[in-house]
Each structure stands twice: as structure tokens, then as C-alpha cells.
Structure 1
């Protein structure tokens, strides 16, 4: 499961991210509401309500206006009025800190069962010119012929596809694909982009936005089998 953790407490976020990854989840973390609203598509959002830029309730409202993604409010606001406010404004569940990982995992599973997956289901393919990407099956084709990608190459391509043509900063790509913010990995990112361009046979498909990051040159066409 792909999880977006929106939490401005670094110590808590680091501990929770580690626990989630141990349970097999891919974690994308941000510490503010604005970045949460522009984040790539995920299966589930864990949202702290006490954020430095936007109130968590406002983030909830905006998320719910544009997506059916499952959202669990994970917060220190434990009063009944806060729980009611969160649930009425779009939270699928409400969990008060501190809590155990077993309880969180059970609630995540329950929310995902109710909401369904936000990421395209099996058989759903994305077309970029002559290139087709099956996000669920982790398969890529060019002119119907399979293209062999490494795990990181596919994860990078999938991140760009989910951005729908928007620019992804190098920092966001490193956090999502490499699970790090260490700038020393930036060279590896450049190599992976070059490899992708070569393997896909369309060098102009992935555009460099100098000083920022990368984006696809066209918005993906989505279709089902």
C-alpha cells in the first residue's frame, strides 16, 4: 500500500514511517498541508490536524473535494468535538495519539476495504505515445513489445505518470522513490532518468525542468482493458 504521511513532528514521523515500511508499505511523507494537496496519488493518507501552514480540517475538505482516497486523521486532538469535526469533514477514521501500530494497521485495512484502492486497479494501463504502462502489474510496453526496467526505473516512471504532467522536484522524487532526502543520491537519479529515456525509445518523453526536477512531456491517457 502507498501511504502519504502528513506530519510536522519529525521524531514521530520518522518512527511511524519506519513502522509502516516494516509492514510492507511505501511511505511518502510531507510536513505541511500544501504539499499534501499536491502529492502524487496514494492509497491512503494519514493526516495530522495540527499543521504549520493549513489547518488539518481545511486539508481534509480539499482532499475530499478532489478524491475518494481513504483518510485517517492521526492527531493529538482527542476531544469529542474534534473527532466529530474531522469525521464530518471527510476523515474515514480518527485515531488519537498515542496509539499502537496494531490498531493503526487494523484501521488502515478497514478504511481501504471501504474506500477501495485509489491507484488504478489491475488491467488499467496508461499510454504515453507508443509507450504503455501497467501500474498494477509493473509492466511497460513499447509498440506492444515488453520493455525491461529495473525496480527503481519503474518506480521513477510511475511517480512521473502519477504526477499527470506536473513537475516533480528532485527532492520529492528522492523521497518517494529512494526514501531519502540525501542530496548524494541525486546523481543516481540523473542516471536513472537517462536510462529510462534510452529504454523507452523516446528521449523527449521525460523533460528536465532546470533547477527544479522532471516532468512528462504529455499528460498520460488512461484506459482500462
Structure 2
């Protein structure tokens, strides 16, 4: 299709320019490592602060998970894909970088320098956790100390799950991942989301497509949707 060929050509040209402009000191391994160590450290610290948590306190994970799913959907739809006065930098980074670097026909990444366009910037997990702290403190004050730490733990784990599933969605030519239940669905939906004509209206959940289904923004794709994702010669 000419549309796909034009999208592929523009994407690869942008990739060349973006990688060429990447500072020589950038290392994708350090970028990824910081994300894993910081979020993993928060999760581990919260676990060490728990003292005989009850089943009722652990049940708080369910509403927190559902809230996280809505927040993921709403932020992706209304912040990352719509220009706003206070979040224009985030919008530009997502739409003008991530979605130009990766399209439905150029979804793959090659090498650590591509991770700069794939992962959220290193400040993102820090900002996410800091934003969650007042919420966790409130839950800890209203319910219990354990509930507060479980809240923060859940939100940090949700961020890590988001990054993990998003990264797997950009792994192409993987028969194994295409057979894993749920993961293959997330990957298939993400292909559709990266179509430039659909990215602002379809498939905003990167994890469980709960809110996409509830709010009518889910658009599935055939299981063969990944087959045309040709690698660059």
C-alpha cells in the first residue's frame, strides 16, 4: 500500500535524524536500568515497611489497579495525544518523537540508542512516584499504614507493568510472544494505535484494555496485522 510505504519512509528518515542527534553519552542500558532500579526499589522498600498486612488491606490493590487503568487511559488520550497549555512538552515528546519513530509499519527497535525514543524519559518514573505519594499518604491516614504502602507499591508496580508491556509491544517477529495469552492481545492492539491516522482515537490502554472497551476506543486488528511489519533492509 502506498500509504504504508509513505509512512515507513517518513519514519525511517526521522529515525536517522533522531539517532544522529542523540548525545554520544546516551546509553539505553543505563536508561532502562534506572527505570528498573528506581521502580523496583520503591516496590521493595514498600514491601519491607509492611507489618502483617491483612487480606482486607491487600484487597485495596483492586480499586487501585482499576484507578490506574483509568488514569493510564485518560492520560494517554487527553494529555499524550492532545496539545494542552501545561503539558505541551509531554505531548510533543510522545506524538512528535515516539509516534514518528515508531509507526504501525516500523514498530521495531534496534539497539540501545533506539530506547531513547521507546522508554519514557528517566524523570518520568520519579515524577510518577512523587505524584502518587500524597495519594498514598492520604490512604495511609484514612485507612492504615499498611494500606498506604500497598497503595504506593501498587502504583509503582503499575508503572513498571506499563513499561514492560509497552516494550514487549515493540518486539516484532516473535512467534512466542504472539502465542502468549493477553500479551498477544496487547501487542495486536498497539499495532493499531501506532497507525498515524488512528493514534489519537484508538487503543489508549497499554496494559489491560478495560477502559478502551468501556469507553468505545478499542479497535482490534487481525491477528495477521504484524505480518506486514517489514524490517528495514
Please tell me the TM-score bracket, short chain as reference: under 0.3
Q: Which has the higher contact order (CA 8 A, sep 6+)?
A: 2
- Larger relative strand fraction: 1
The normalised TM-score by structure 2 is 0.24
Quick check: which one's helix share is greater?
2
What TM-score do the two structures reach when normalised by structure 1?
0.24
